[in-house]
Amino acid sequence: MAIADRVFSGDTLRVGYRFQRHWDNSMAYAFYCCEVGAGLFFVSLLLDNLAGMVLGLLLVSTGKPYFHLTHMGVPMKSWRAMLRPDRSWISRGLLGLMGMVGFGVLALLVMVFGEGNSPTELWGLKLLAGGCALVCATYQGFAMSHSSAIAIWNSAIMPLSSLLYALSSGLALAMLLLPADTAAGLAPILLLLLLGLALVQLMFLHAGWHGGPGARTSIELLLQTFYARWYLGVTVTAGIALPALLTWAAPTSILAQLLSGIGVLAGFFAWRLLIFKIGVYEPIMTMNPFAPGR
């Protein structure tokens, strides 16, 4: 059945597919800031790049809270979200975010001012901050994958894509903040991450197309409607294929690194928006609009 034949019931009482719109643009911006910032901080932490660590912390500590609060109906009660880490990935993520910012700032202070501190103390802070950054980079994908009502999200591909996009975006940004020779040495790692993203996209399309009716409808929306130009043009071509080609052909070129970084960030941004836009709830009952008697 083509996408033109699908029944979208919207806010009516008809049986059909309904779009999720509870998580929309503001949440996509929050997810994006958190994952890019966490990825940049984690990569910069490994490379001892202070500028990248500071920028990553700023993205996570300002962009994510701001867009989350613009989404919430009662911002003054937002602190309650961290009270159930035993059952909620949102709670775990918020605790991870607090840990990343707290331990990250302490690690920065020790790296800048703590010349007399022992290496063990610094590595302990780095380990804690890096672990919290990985939580921030993945927990949103885990939160989405728990949504059994939205089939296209209900997959291990969601946290995997969050992690790979966070690391690839963070590395692409970090390469712009490093000396050219150091950045060129990181090009093979970026290529591997981009290859991982390409495989994740293939897995995502395959799993959705051969999944339930809601998942297949989401893939049809992605490939057969106006969303296709953004997915194929920005997420796939500009966000994966072009950066991989530039990184492989000119790993030492500053211009190629700049264009590659812009492409990766743009592709990830389009993916973050699209994955919310194409989310549809599973239909309550099986339906066929062309069945006899309808």
User: Which tens digits make up the pLDDT trace of 118-171?
Assistant: 566 688 889 999 999 999 999 888 988 887 788 899 889 999 999 999 999 999
Q: Are residues 8 and 29 in the same domain?
A: no
156 and 169 share one domain: yes
- Per-residue pLDDT, 290: 45
Residues 224 and 250 in one domain: yes
Instruction: Confirm whether pTM is higher than 0.75.
Output: yes
> 187 pLDDT band (50/70/90 cuts)?
very high
Lowest mean pLDDT among 21-25, 122-126, 139-143, 178-182: 21-25
Could you tell me which residues come within 8 angstroms of residue 233 by beta carbon, excluding any fewer than 6 positions away? none
> Domain check: are 63 and 196 in the same one?
no
Contact (CB, 8 A) for 157 and 203: yes
* Domain membership of residue 44 as a residue range: 24-146
Token pair 């919290």 is found at 132
267 pLDDT band, cuts 50/70/90, is very high
In angstroms, rounded to a whole number, what is the distance separating the alpha carbons of residues 141 and 256?
A: 30
